[in-house]
Amino acid sequence: MSRRRKETLHELGLTPIWHRRADSALEKSAPSTLASDQSVSKVNAAKAVINDREAQISRMDWAQLKATVAGCIACRLCESRTQTVFGVGGEQANWLFIGEGPGAREDKTGEPFVGQAGKLLDNMLRSIQLRRGEGVYITNIVKCRPPNNRAPEPDEAEQCRPYLERQIVLIKPKLIVALGKVAAQNLLHSNENIGNLRGMLHSYADIPLIVTYHPAYLLRSLSDKAKAWEDLCFAKATMQSLLAQ
């Protein structure tokens, strides 16, 4: 460009009209664009694997589902379990009780809610004329025991979610009772505390859902037993109106 032209453009406020640096930036960005394309491909491939797993689980019958859970290594909880704890009860039950995960005794026996918390749950069921195994199914958010009885991590619950979803589809319960904060928050995708979630009718996949305290918590907090009793009465009344429809 001639000097005169440069001066004219400068006077008109039109310089600089081209930056070498811009080209450099583009050149530099080319490899990172390629890298980000590769990352997107990897993410899409991972999503496809996850979707494929979920699709397979969503087609399983009870036998296939039980066998798949028994051999599952989809999250780190498989490393410390003795055995998986699938669930127990009538496979066409009207009532579905869901806790957070197996404890030490459940890990040993393979049955959910045994030990002191299990006895209390059985008493809670009896108080509204229910019995384990008779129109009642009991399971957990995760099927393997979290070490040291900690709560399941979100990624562990997420890996186990397709199994619970399939159980719910196969059982077709009329009412779900979420036992404790972890079960309630996972099922309702909520961060609310249990005090704000109990006492109202929620919905999970169009199935009515009620929240109450986990029996293990009630063993430590006797003052909340009265509230749990209120929740059970609410659940019983809800079931009666569902059965009357």
Q: Is 84 in the site for ligand SF4 (CB under 6 A)?
A: yes
Minimum gap (Å) between residue 215 Cβ and ligand SF4: 20
| Rounded Cα–Cα distance for residues 93 and 112 (Å) | 16
> How far, CA to CA in Å, does 212 sit from each of 58, 71, 216, 234, 241?
28, 31, 12, 10, 19
**Shorter beta-carbon distance to ligand SF4: residue 164 or 235:** 164
- Of 93, 114, 121, 142, the one binding ligand SF4 (CB under 6 A) is 142
**Shorter beta-carbon distance to ligand SF4: residue 107 or 231:** 107
Q: Which residues contact 217 (CB under 8 A, 6 or more apart)?
A: 180, 224
**Shorter beta-carbon distance to ligand SF4: residue 163 or 198:** 163
Minimum gap (Å) between residue 53 Cβ and ligand SF4: 10
- Of 78, 128, 170, 207, the one binding ligand SF4 (CB under 6 A) is 78
Residue pair 9/17 in contact (Cβ under 8 Å)? The answer is yes
| Rounded Cα–Cα distance for residues 108 and 115 (Å) | 11
**Shorter beta-carbon distance to ligand SF4: residue 72 or 125:** 72
Minimum gap (Å) between residue 153 Cβ and ligand SF4: 10
**Shorter beta-carbon distance to ligand SF4: residue 162 or 173:** 162
Stretch that binds ligand SF4, among 138-146, 190-198, 201-209, 234-242 (CB under 6 A): 138-146
**Shorter beta-carbon distance to ligand SF4: residue 83 or 238:** 83
Site for ligand SF4 in 155-174 (CB under 6 A): 156, 159-160
Number of shown-chain residues binding ligand SF4 (CB under 6 A): 14
Site for ligand SF4 in 14-73 (CB under 6 A): 69, 72-73
Site for ligand SF4 in 178-237 (CB under 6 A): none
**Shorter beta-carbon distance to ligand SF4: residue 167 or 212:** 167
| Rounded Cα–Cα distance for residues 175 and 23 (Å) | 63
Binding site for ligand SF4 (CB under 6 A): 69, 72-75, 77-78, 84, 142-144, 156, 159-160
